[in-house]
Amino acid sequence: MPKNHPLTFKQIEAFRAIANHGSFAAAAKKLWATQPAISKRIAEMESALGVELLSRSHSGVQLTQHGAELLEMCNEMLLLRERMVKALGKPSAFKGDFRFGVTELGALTFLPVLVPEIRRSIPEASLHPEVGLSRALLAKLVEGTLDLIVLPMRPAGPKIRQMELAHVKFAWMCSPEMDIPARLPVSQLPRYPLLGQSPDSGLQRTINAWLKANGVSAPKFMLVSNSVSVLSSLSVAGLGLSCLPVEQFKHHVKDNRLKIVQTDPAPPQVTYYIGYRDDALSSISSIVANLIRSAGKL
């Protein structure tokens, strides 16, 4: 028989996370909770409803018939909660975890400005930023362990919304001490030591596509680092040429620590995009996405 205990959104969120991710451990990671806490929420939910929602075995966790019937209603309840918040025009009423991912360039630029603005808009939210490579961040958004990402590539996947954020200008830079002309055709770049990122970087894929379009089909990079800061430091030290964001490193050019090598044609501007999930958090994610675009700090 059901016990007279009220259902809570934390219980419903825990149940949905287990259903979506297949285990108590994955649900705990998604909700930034401990596994015992997730188990307790499910036990309380099953006690309140008087039915078994999950079947546990050595092979994993599956929904029971009751659980499968309940899942759609849980999704509707969580969506309705967010629609209520949006309809009332009070995002400040949102209480919960919000996880967002950025590449290193995003972390270096807009993140310190953006976080206080997000806190003012949704002050009760618990913010969990993550810095990583484009492919890894997109995979986490698709699987639901991140709610929003900012990438130098168009994010695509099931239930993913996207919004263009900004165009960032890049240029090849090196130490003024290196004997490299101030202007080069792209075809001559491989004559010099090139520094770059791994293929998992959305930025590097854009650069590689540009090189290929201009006759450099298989560029050889003397050194690979997925940190823009490291690449800039190695360029300052005279190890080679890096394709760097102009705005973020113009102070090095002004101080004569780096020089810009103009290429013909110039590197393309890189478009950064915001991606977020079209699910129960979509209204909050939309608010945050518009905050990012308004901040315009990339």
DSSP secondary structure code for residue 267 in this structure: P
Neighbours of 120 (CB within 10 A): 10
> How confident is the prediction for the chain on average, in pLDDT?
85
Higher pLDDT, 252 or 22: 252
Predicted TM-score of the model (pTM): 0.67
**pLDDT at 99 exceeding the cut of 80:** yes
Q: What pLDDT is attached to residue 251?
A: 94
Look up the CATH number of domain 9-87.
1.10.10.10
Work out the pLDDT band at 87, boundaries 50, 70, 90. Answer: low
The phi-psi region of residue 238 (left if phi > 0; otherwise alpha if psi is between -120 and 50; otherwise beta) is: left
The residues of the chain that CATH labels 3.40.190.10 are 91-164+271-295, 170-268
Architecture of domain 91-164+271-295: 3-Layer(aba) Sandwich (3.40)
What is the arithmetic mean of pLDDT over 52-70?
86
DSSP assignment of 151-180 equals ESS---STTEEEEEEEEE-EEEEE-TTS--
Work out the pLDDT band at 88, boundaries 50, 70, 90. Answer: low
**pLDDT at 185 exceeding the cut of 90:** yes
Q: What pLDDT is attached to residue 265?
A: 93
What is the arithmetic mean of pLDDT over 158-182?
91
Q: What pLDDT is attached to residue 254?
A: 95
Residue pair 155/126 in contact (Cβ under 8 Å)? The answer is: no
Q: What pLDDT is attached to residue 225?
A: 87
Task: Determine the residue type at 265.
Answer: P
Architecture of domain 170-268: 3-Layer(aba) Sandwich (3.40)
Question: How far from 7 is each of 31, 113, 240, CA to CA, in Å?
Answer: 18, 38, 61
Q: What pLDDT is attached to residue 191?
A: 92
The residues of the chain that CATH labels 1.10.10.10 are 9-87
